[in-house]
Amino acid sequence: MAKEKKTKETKKSVAEKNTSKPKEVVTEPKEVKEEPKQVTWEEYELLVREKAYTLYLERGEAPGSDTEDWEKAEMLVKQELNIK
């Protein structure tokens, strides 16, 4: 009888421990399509110009890659503005 009582107490304490809050279910976030940001042509060109200049500075101000800097800057600005 002592064993039976002990078993019931053990089962009861395990059951009490399992009454905690249910685990949170984590789901993958749904991909949200952002609308392209609206900028004027002048604003776009200014952003590209600034980005190209930053790339130029990051390269150590070495001459001869202005076209590559501009094209990369356009790509980066389009990504930032969510423009295809």
Does the pLDDT value for residue 28 go beyond 80? no
More confident residue, 35 or 65: 65
Structure tokens at 12: 């009861």
Does the pLDDT value for residue 3 go beyond 60? no
Q: Are 82 and 60 in contact (CB under 8 A)?
A: no
Does the pLDDT value for residue 5 go beyond 80? no
pLDDT bucket at 15, cuts 50 / 70 / 90: low
Q: Are 77 and 47 in contact (CB under 8 A)?
A: yes
pLDDT recorded at residue 8: 57
Instruction: Please give the model's pTM, rounded to 2 decimal places.
Output: 0.58
Q: Are 84 and 78 in contact (CB under 8 A)?
A: yes
